[in-house]
Structure 1
Amino acid sequence: MKSTKEQRAWYWYDWANSAYITTTATVIIGPYLTSLATNAACPDLADGATCLNPVMLLGLFPVLPGALHPFLGTLSTIVSAILLIFVGAAADRSAHPNRWLGGTAAIGAVAASLMFFLQGDNWQLGAWLMIIASFAAGASFVVYDAILVRIAGPDDRDRVSSKGWAWGYLGGGLLLALNFALMSSYESLGITYGLAIRVSLLSAGLWWGIFTIIPVVGLRKLPRSVPLQVKAKNPFAQLGDTFRDMRNYPQTVLFLLAFLFFNDGIQTVIVQSSLYASAELGMETQQVLITFLLTQIVAFGGALLFGRVAASIGAKKTVIGGIAIWLVVVVIGFVLPSGSFTALLGLGAAIGLVMGGTQALARSMYSQLVPLGRESEYFSFYQAMERGTSWLGTLTFGLVFQFTQSYRLALVALAIFFVVGGLLLTQVNMRKGITDAGNALPKVL
């Protein structure tokens, strides 16, 4: 089926923000921020040794440099879980959701661009910028995901959501390839490796901001009237109504609970994978970048493939199958031999196969369970658990490393998230949930 003008404009935001998600949040910032914190805590550390001197996270909590990044992910998610709900309530009251998309994305893009100034032992600035960028990204996703309901019907939503994710992997992979070329040839360009990394961070922020202009302009005429039931209410009163209202949709709540677990597992594996590959498996930065390039390429096709499979057997069965593959990925990653680049490439390809498909279909499944007219509100709960803002997984990963100094044990501990999330998802009655929300049933469930 051919995409509409609004759908094509909508795809571009996945293209825009995936540059930050891929280059910065997934590949660079974890190892780079860890190195800055290590420089601050253990300036004379020998190569290959683990820094056991803690740094003070936000001046309050002592954490090992190796656990700093996952703990920051947890903190940014707790902040987002509180604030994103108010963003959703306010966005649902607006007749111009594209402006909310542009404003939140602009804040994130500026924060991401300012990461260019991270160097030496200045990890504190990086911590604050990471929190701001993560929140802004989550806020923009609240609006972006809610717009999906406006531009695609029940039978078209899996395809549109999957295609958006595919565009994201294509855009994110393209910038990652350019940054890989920069970091591979920095000497011939007469710059240091540190500057090459900082330029890469800057490029992700600029890419995010510049390409967001396309969906902001393309969705400016999106039909959007403020629902009568929220016109006279402020966001705080509306938020209270949402909490009470969710009791009427038990299948929606059950899906959110399942999503909390399996998506936290997915997000933690994705975000901590570069740190795991470099610190635990002993891979060079270039090897990690090549692996992620492969993952992006495979993910582009994987997202489209999962959309096709869902059209035949339904999104729920397809997502459950994807979760099973994720569980296998975690187990294989635990036993992956150090220094084996070939094995890492194979694991990266497996991750790419399921990475986009499971998340794209989860988004479209949830959109079917959301009451009409309160999309942004309900997607604010969804985004509090979405990509880049998971917290239970990163907390588990960070705590296991904090007490064992083993990234392998931290990784395999994530298996419980896929097991629990998958089991909970099997109990979701999609037909009842869609009917209870007052939405039309798709032809294939």
Structure 2
Amino acid sequence: MGADTARDRPAGEAAERRREQHGWYVYDWACSVYSTTVLTVFLGPYLTSVAERAADADGFVHPLGVPVRAGSFFAYSVSLSVIVAVLLMPLAGSLADRTGRKKRLLGVAAYIGAGATTAMFFLGGDRYLLGGLLLIVANAAQSVAMMLYNSYLPQIAAPEERDAVSSRGWALGYASGALMLVANLVLYLRHADFGLTESAAVRICLASAGLWWGAFAIVPLRRLRDRARPAGEAPASGALRQLAATVRHMRRHPLTLAFLLAYLVYNDGIQTVITQASVYGSQELGLGQSTLIVAVLLVQVLAVAGALGLGRLANRYGAKRTILGSLVAWTVTLAAGYFLPAGQPGWFFALAAAIGLVLGGSQALSRSLFSHLVPPGKEAEYFSAYELSDRGMSWLGPLLFGLTYQVTGSYRDAIISLVAFFVLGFVLLARVPVRRAIADAGNPVPERI
């Protein structure tokens, strides 16, 4: 009997790992509609229009007495949400690792974000301050939740399968975003048939993302499990104090820090393109909301294939080389975006297709590559630093975008300024010896990385 039990144990452990992986995938399915429906498509143009209704004769709003051009309010709100996330993520990561309550913290962050997103239904008239507040809460909560979610990857996937597992999660998330966008497109285009104003249709689309997020988050919260708390450790007493402790620990792994610096730079460009593309399309190119929805839907559909396709390329050529290739594609695509003619959606669709093919893969492979660089037992704490690079430190791009527009009044100048992030990120990543970085972190080095 004892021998049979021991023999059955590996099969049982594998089944439990697969169950956790499937639940982990579903969180990407749950939360990706926020990034797609809210950040990428609807909230930027809609919040900008709300701010414009509240603006003075010179086109400025005055939150807390500070003059801000209405067209820059959304970008500044994104930047502020990221600063809030910077203060929260290190503390949440430390609490997750040291208390063993990662799943509970993930649930709290997810439902705060979902609740704030659902409340965007009440964003009407000239309530731009309400919109900015809800964006800050939802975006910061999303960042904390994604940090905790990502930190599960090295715990639920063996080193040789992480590229595939990470890519499947991203692919499922993009499929979810595409499905929701189809429903959004039908509601938006036919809002009059449903007896709705255009504003009401947009607010319903925003709120639906929060409801979707909250409903499907139940699945991973049931399937993922907490790990035992390390002995002899207590939670840090403050976010900044914990951030300093994490940085001090990471200084023992300078190559991991070198990767994070590279990722911080090029991902800042990626995140800014995601959040500002709809504003560029509507304000600079004069494209309608339905055109933007179709373009983002095209990105979502192709990103599924792109994430899986780049995952296969990584299996053949290694994750680092594949990411570097994607950064070249990002640079060329973004530079081409500067020359897009206004009022011609066909060219915008071509740009969206190019973005879709590299978007999911570059993000998924960056996540899986970093998972190899995390010392065992420090998953959430290190992924809090990763999330600072992913979303937490991605305030430089929106800030540069907003400042460039405020100074020049041109969204073309704002979009071309982002090329620098991809070029510099390529140079920094190319200099990181990832095989040595993995060994220095105390992890087995995969055959191909």
Which amino acid in the other structure matches residue 310 of structure 2? Answer: F
Q: Which runs of 5+ in 2 are unaligned?
A: 1-13
Q: Kindly tell me: are residues 238 and 183 of structure 1, through their superposed partners in 2, closer, same or farther at Cα, counting changes over 3 Å? A: closer
Which amino acid in the other structure matches residue 270 of structure 1? Answer: I
Which of 226, 230, 235 is the equivalent residue of 1:227?
230
Which of 337, 347, 363 is the equivalent residue of 1:333?
337
Supply the distance in 1 between the matched residues of 2:79 and 2:284 (Cα, whole angstroms). 21
Supply the distance in 1 between the matched residues of 2:379 and 2:18 (Cα, whole angstroms). 21
- Deviation of 1:412 after TM superposition, in Å, equals 0.3
CA deviation map 1:363-390 (0-9, x unaligned): 1111111111111111111112214861
- Deviation of 1:232 after TM superposition, in Å, equals 3.7
Answer whether contact 1:108 1:133 (CA < 8 A) is retained.
Answer: yes
Q: Secondary structure in 2 aligned to 1:338?
A: coil
Q: Equivalent residues in 2 for 1:29-68 (5 A)?
A: 29-42=43-56, 52-57=58-63, 59-68=64-73
**Structure 1 vs Structure 2: percent identity of aligned residues?**
46
* TM-score normalised by L of structure 2: 0.94
Answer whether contact 2:103 2:226 (CA < 8 A) is retained.
Answer: no
Is residue 293 of structure 2 the alignment partner of residue 289 of structure 1?
Answer: yes
Q: Equivalent residues in 2 for 1:154-169 (5 A)?
A: 154-169=159-174
Q: Which runs of 4+ in 1 moved over 3 A?
A: 232-241
* TM-score normalised by L of structure 1: 0.94
2:35 is matched with 21
Q: Equivalent residues in 2 for 1:23-422 (5 A)?
A: 23-42=37-56, 52-57=58-63, 59-219=64-224, 222=225, 224-228=227-231, 231-236=233-238, 239-387=243-391, 390-422=394-426
CA deviation map 1:103-157 (0-9, x unaligned): 1100000000000000110000000000000110001011100001110011110
Supply the distance in 1 between the matched residues of 2:131 and 2:435 (Cα, whole angstroms). 45
Answer whether contact 1:138 1:389 (CA < 8 A) is retained.
Answer: no
Which of 16, 19, 22 is the equivalent residue of 1:8?
22
Q: Which runs of 5+ in 1 are unaligned?
A: 43-50
Supply the distance in 2 between the matched residues of 1:72 and 1:423 (Cα, whole angstroms). 30
Query: Over aligned residue pairs, what C-alpha RMSD do you find?
Result: 1.6
Q: Kindly tell me: are residues 178 and 388 of structure 1, through their superposed partners in 2, closer, same or farther at Cα, counting changes over 3 Å? A: farther
Supply the distance in 2 between the matched residues of 1:214 and 1:36 (Cα, whole angstroms). 36
CA deviation map 1:177-207 (0-9, x unaligned): 1011000111111111111111101100000
Supply the distance in 2 between the matched residues of 1:444 and 1:363 (Cα, whole angstroms). 16
Answer whether contact 2:113 2:139 (CA < 8 A) is retained.
Answer: yes
- Deviation of 1:243 after TM superposition, in Å, equals 2.1
Q: Kindly tell me: are residues 223 and 91 of structure 1, through their superposed partners in 2, closer, same or farther at Cα, counting changes over 3 Å? A: closer
Q: Secondary structure in 2 aligned to 1:428?
A: coil
CA deviation map 1:226-250 (0-9, x unaligned): 1235x24535465543221111111
- Deviation of 1:82 after TM superposition, in Å, equals 2.0
Which amino acid in the other structure matches residue 120 of structure 2? Answer: M
Supply the distance in 2 between the matched residues of 1:283 and 1:206 (Cα, whole angstroms). 28
- Deviation of 1:100 after TM superposition, in Å, equals 1.5
1:46 is matched with none
Which amino acid in the other structure matches residue 121 of structure 1? Answer: D
Supply the distance in 1 between the matched residues of 2:88 and 2:384 (Cα, whole angstroms). 9
Q: Kindly tell me: are residues 387 and 350 of structure 1, through their superposed partners in 2, closer, same or farther at Cα, counting changes over 3 Å? A: farther
Number of residue pairs matched?
A: 433
